[in-house]
Structure 1
Amino acid sequence: MAEGKNAVMSIDRRISLITLGVADVARSTAFYERLGWGRSSASQEAITFIQLKGIVLALFSRAALAEDAGVENTPVGFSGITLAHNVSNPEEVDAVVDFAISCGATLVKKPEKVFWGGYSGYFADPDGHLWEVAHNPFAPMDEHGHLALPE
C-alpha cells in the first residue's frame, strides 16, 4: 500500500462470513440443518457456524448482533438485503424452492421467468431472511459451483 495523504487503498473483493440475526438460534440451526447444511464444530450454544462454498454462514441472536454492532434492535419490514442461491437450470430452481418449503421455509414468490431473462423465486427462512433461488443464463456456474461473472 502506498504511503502519504493521497494513498489509495482497496479492499480485497470477498465476503468471508455472513451473519443472520435470528430470534432463536436453535430453531434456525435446525432449519438450516434440514436443508442439509451441517454446523461446524466451532459452533456454540449462542452461535452456529455453517461452512458453505467459499464463505461461512453464521446464525446469532438478533438482539446480541445489534448490541455487538452498537445499533438499536428495531423491527423492520424489508431489510433491503436478500441472499441468493444460484443453480444451473430452471428445473433446479423449482426443486430447491420446493425442498426449502418442505424444510420449513415460507414461499414468498413462486419461481417464474423474470424481466432480466432468468428464472427465480423467493423463500423466507424462519426469521424472515429472504433467499432468492435463481438460474441466470448470462452468468453460469464454474467448476466449483460458484457464480462466474464475466470480467
Structure 2
Amino acid sequence: MSLERRISIITLGVADVAASTAFYQRLGWKKSSASQESVTFIQMRGTVLALFGREALARDAEVENTAPGFSGVTLAHNVSSPTGVDAVVKFAVSCGARLVKAPEKVSWGGYSGYFADPDGHLWEVAHNPFFPMDEHGHIVLPE
C-alpha cells in the first residue's frame, strides 16, 4: 500500500471563525453552503480550506490546545469509506507515524482518526459521506 499524494482539507484553527471568514471573503474567496457557524469551508483548486475554532480543533484531534507541537493546523486526507480510513491510518503507523486518535464514528456523521508525522504535524484521515469526491479524489463542496 502507499498513501495517495493528496491533501483534501487544510484546517486552520482560528480564534474567531466569523472574523476569519469575513477576512477570507474580503479576499474574494466564497464560503460553501456546507459551512456552519462553527466551521467555514472554502473550495480551493483541488483542496478545501476549513476555518474551525482552534480549541475545537484541538478537542477534535484529542490533543491539548497548548500541547508542544500543536500548531493549530491540520491536514486531512479524505477517503471513500470508513474501512479506507482504517487502512490508511494503519499504514501510516506502520511507516512510523504516531497514532493520535484511533479512527471512530464522529459527531458530524463521518468517520475519522488522526496520526502525527515524526515532527508532530497532525493528519486527519476521514470519510465524509456529505462531501463527494471527484474522479481525481478532490472534494467537491456545494456552492
Once superposed, what is the RMSD of the aligned Cα atoms?
2.4
Distance 2:88 2:114 in 1: 10
2:139 paired with 1:150: no
The yes-or-no answer on 1:10 pairing with 2:43 is: no
Task: Show the 5 A alignment for 1:2-151.
Answer: 10=28, 14=44, 54=46, 76-151=68-143
Structure 2: stretches of 5+ with no match in the other structure: 1-25, 31-42, 48-66
TM-score normalised over the length of structure 2? 0.55
Q: Residues 122 and 9 from structure 1, CA distance in 2 versus in 1: closer, same or farther, beyond 3 angstroms?
A: closer
Aligned partner letter, 2:137: G
SS in 1 for 2:73: coil
Question: Which whole-Å CA distance do the structure 1 matches of 2:27 and 2:126 have between them?
Answer: 34
TM-score, with normalisation over the residues of structure 1?
A: 0.52
Q: Which amino acid aligns with 1:139?
A: F
Counterpart of 1:150 in 2: which secondary structure? Answer: coil
Query: Aligned pair count?
Result: 87
Local SS of the residue matching 1:143: coil
The one of the two structures with greater contact order (alpha-carbon pairs below 8 A, sep at least 6) is: 2
Deviations 1:125-151 (CA, angstroms, capped at 9, x unpaired): 000000000000000111111011111
Q: Against the structure 1 CA distance between its residues 139 and 104, is the aligned structure 2 distance closer, same or farther, given a 3 Å change threshold?
A: same
Percentage identity across aligned positions?
74
Map Cα deviations across residues 29-75 of structure 1 (whole Å, 9 max, x no partner).
xxxxxxxxxxxxxxxxxxxxxxxxx58xxxxxxxxxxxxxxxxxxx9
> Shift of the alpha carbon at 1:79?
1.1
One-letter code aligned to 2:128: N
